Structure 1
Amino acid sequence: MLWAGFAAAEPVRIATFAAPLSRDGPGLLLRDIQKGEDDAIIAIAKIIDLIAPDVLVLTDFDYDLDGYALDAFAGGLAQDYPYRFALTPNTGVPTGLDIDGNGRRGDARDAQGYGRFVGDGGMAILSRFAVLEDEVQDFSQLLWRNLDGAQLPSLDGKAFFSPLVQDNLRLSSAGHWVVPLAVPDGGVLSLMVFAATPPVFDGPEDMNGLRNRDELRLWENILETDPPEGFVVLGNANLDPVRGAGKQDAMQDFLRRPDLMDPLGGQPNADWGSDGPGQLRVSYILPSTAWQVVGSGTFWPDEDTPERVFLGDDGTKAGPHRMIWVDLLR
């Protein structure tokens, strides 16, 4: 259901969208944006224009070093986003190692994070508010084994990863960033942005399930030791607290944290149909209790509403994920 609430003061609307803005090779996303003929890109842009967030986190956006694709995409939107931010993700960064243990090197699954090329399906931020770039923290280089409380996979009672893999494999499949923004009330809004690996596509060692859980654990550790000012945890956790694969109890525990709010409750925000896992909640916006929530929503219009056209007849024109947003006041 499409819904939002407002208060008398001007809220800050933040949103996240795992829109399918990734292509099969480097430069192809920029090509498709510039052509202006891709139905999915057009639909995604129309949804963004309709919801009009002040801050938008995209969690499946191909990265390029000069930001050409992000600039081109932002330039085609109705709202001006003068601040655009992205770091090199771990997706597609080669390791030269056999990470998944299939006897081959150089596959997409042998990169630091699954990816067919460097930057495949990275993360990006569009903002109306200035990014305090000197204060950005990037935890994406942290080795998985060095995470406090890490649980690395094992098989038949033995470590699944060789010592060499353990010495090189990072925790973040895409990235973990803390990105502070200067918001109009004079304070700071700190985006804790991530996109975790799906807890599937592995074997009995549960490599991806354990990594997915530990990608959430990194935020737990930071919130316990050094929470950023005015933080909001958001992105694609790829983990539903009650349905689908993965360590559901980990997400349940995270949502119960007393320093977080969960404005969107148990609403699903992705739909893989009856042939797949169905409707799941995988994307999240979880503000700290320092904020006041005055509105929230999921772009999932009913079939008889005009906005439904953006999703297409089968609901997948803009991909299986739905945009979610939250309106905040200090």
Structure 2
Amino acid sequence: MIFPATGAFAAPTGPGDSAGASAAQLSETSLRVATIQANLSGETPQELPANLMRGSDRQAAQVADKISSANADVVVLTDMDATQDAVDALNDQYLNNPDDARADVEYGYSYLAVGSKGLQSGADLNADGVIGGAEDAWGQAAFAEQGSIVVLSKYPIAQDQVTSVSQLKWQDVANDMMHHTDFSGVLAASIPVMSTGLWDIPIQYRGEPVHILATQTQPDAQDQEFAKARQADELKVLTGYLAGEDYVRTDEGEQAEGVGEDRYVIAGALGLQENAADRVEPFLQGLKRANALNDSGSYLVPSATWQVLGQGRIQEHPPSSPQPLPGTVPDLVKASSPLIWTDVQF
């Protein structure tokens, strides 16, 4: 028997109503974008799909509860293995499964964002005497797709028009902050500035292009100076990409064109570090979205040309505490990260 992990509920934080209540009405006149830190990952590319195919993964059920409740047009899932088998299993067993108790939600389009996270550095970054482990990759991952980004959409995605910025070297960022770290020489010249990547994923909404900018920046690390400096420059690259700055090069080696007058929504994990607000707040102010919705490090940042109709977050009710049998250890299930959503309109 497949069932939702917990009862999800929505808390609106602006004009409009709770997520899900008016989704059917709003879908004809507004675009609902959501993001969530999915925390769905395995040690190998095959592990997560195998777990999901069983249909009983508690973490996946919690994520699916929130996605179903939000019924967003586009969902950006961070910290998820970006493999087609994992996406298919999530869709078939959790999001669009007629045999479970949650409302089905169908996403006919997806984008698997695979960037620099599992790219090996060729150096012993964790100083364990062995080169080649997960902690020696630039983004600390065991394989390229691990803990990356998956985008689900009800609107067609122009796959051949997606722009990726994951290989841009940190030293090539204008006025970079690398000089605040201990990295130098050949090693410093090899570091991609984006710990995972930045993807510009275009969809067509009401006859106009909309850019979904998906990313997740540097999380906390043992070397705090490194982590803070890298995150600051990742945010700088986001701004530079939007403006088409000369130094921002795509993975094809071309100068980024920017988004011009097109509308966009930045979605993903921008503030995973402690005290990340010190760096994120100036970034938001520069985009004229100082009050952009955020929760637990996830952010939704619409371009200033959008009208925000409503926004909110969805999280679980606190799990119940069943009485364990004598001599047994209770099954403790941690609540997953909240899903946040924003409704925007021309």
- The alignment's TM-score, normalised by the length of structure 2, stands at 0.78
Does residue 177 in structure 1 map to residue 211 in structure 2? no
Distance in 2, Cα, partners of 1:123 & 1:17 = 10
Structure 1 counterpart SS, 2:29:
coil
- Structure 2 counterpart of 1:201, one-letter code: A
1:70 to 47, 62, 87: 87
2:72 to 50, 53, 71: 53
1:186 to 198, 202, 207: 207
Query: Equivalent residue for 1:197?
Result: 218
State the 1:261 CA deviation: 6.3
**CA spacing shift, 1:50–1:317, aligned 2, 3 Å:** farther
2:280 to 241, 244, 251: 251
State the 1:213 CA deviation: 1.4
Does residue 329 in structure 1 map to residue 320 in structure 2? no
- 1:10-25 to structure 2, matched below 5 A, reads 10-25=29-44
Distance in 2, Cα, partners of 1:191 & 1:168 = 28
Does residue 211 in structure 1 map to residue 209 in structure 2? no
Distance in 1, Cα, partners of 2:287 & 2:169 = 28
Q: Deviations over 1:225-271 (max 9, x none)?
A: 3541211111001257xxx334x33212112125446442xx6x23x
Query: Equivalent residue for 1:95?
Result: 121
Pairwise CA RMSD: 2.4
8 Å CA contact 1:122–1:174 kept in 2: the answer is: yes
**CA spacing shift, 1:171–1:319, aligned 2, 3 Å:** farther
2:141 to 115, 119, 134: 115
8 Å CA contact 1:175–1:194 kept in 2: the answer is: yes
State the 1:192 CA deviation: 1.1
Query: Equivalent residue for 1:286?
Result: 301
Query: Equivalent residue for 1:2?
Result: 11
Structure 2 counterpart SS, 1:120:
coil
- Runs of 5+ in structure 2 lacking a partner? 1-9, 96-103, 245-256, 322-331
Distance in 2, Cα, partners of 1:31 & 1:154 = 43
- 1:77-156 to structure 2, matched below 5 A, reads 77=95, 78-100=104-126, 104-154=130-180
Choose 1 or 2 for highest CA Rg.
2
**CA spacing shift, 1:318–1:51, aligned 2, 3 Å:** farther
8 Å CA contact 1:173–1:196 kept in 2: the answer is: yes
Query: Equivalent residue for 1:277?
Result: none
8 Å CA contact 1:58–1:125 kept in 2: the answer is: yes
- Structure 1 counterpart of 2:89, one-letter code: A
Matched positions, count: 294
- Runs of 5+ in structure 1 lacking a partner? 271-281, 302-307
Distance in 2, Cα, partners of 1:44 & 1:20 = 9
- The alignment's TM-score, normalised by the length of structure 1, stands at 0.81
- 1:230-309 to structure 2, matched below 5 A, reads 230-239=263-272, 244-246=274-276, 248-260=277-289, 262-264=291-293, 269-270=295-296, 282-300=297-315, 308=317
- Structure 2 counterpart of 1:312, one-letter code: P
Does residue 34 in structure 1 map to residue 60 in structure 2? no
8 Å CA contact 1:298–1:324 kept in 2: the answer is: yes
Aligned-pair identity in percent equals 26
State the 1:173 CA deviation: 1.1
8 Å CA contact 1:92–1:119 kept in 2: the answer is: yes
Distance in 1, Cα, partners of 2:133 & 2:55 = 32
Structure 1 counterpart SS, 2:87:
helix
- Structure 2 counterpart of 1:68, one-letter code: D
State the 1:57 CA deviation: 0.3
8 Å CA contact 2:115–2:167 kept in 1: the answer is: no
State the 1:201 CA deviation: 2.1
- Structure 1 counterpart of 2:235, one-letter code: L
